[in-house]
């Protein structure tokens, strides 16, 4: 019977505080993850609002890329004329 009381005391004064400390660490990590997930949700919704106009911007970007390609081709042709042939 004495061993039973010693085991109960050991459980109460050693094991239980260790379990509570570990649970506290886990719950703190869960709270940090929850805060980060909430932050991601808020900023993700803001980002979706900013991305709505991308198709219109891409339509103008295609014309700009075409103009740059034409200019680069002309420039490369002029540089090729200046360089000596191999």
Q: What pLDDT, on the 0 to 100 scale, is given for residue 18?
A: 92
Is the pLDDT confidence value at 49 over 90?
no
Which two tokens mark 28?
A: 């703190």
Report, as an integer, the average pLDDT of 45-70.
84
Alpha-carbon gap, residue 43 to 33, rounded angstroms: 15
pTM of the model: 0.50
């Amino acid at each position: 019977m004495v061993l039973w009381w010693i085991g109960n005391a050991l459980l109460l004064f050693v094991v239980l505080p260790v379990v509570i400390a570990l649970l506290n660490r886990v719950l703190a990590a869960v709270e940090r993850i929850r805060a980060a997930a909430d932050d991601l949700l808020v900023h993700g919704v803001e980002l979706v609002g900013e991305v709505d106009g991308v198709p219109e911007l891409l339509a103008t970007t295609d014309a700009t890329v075409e103009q740059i390609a034409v200019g680069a081709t002309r420039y490369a042709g002029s540089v090729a004329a200046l360089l000596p042939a191999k």
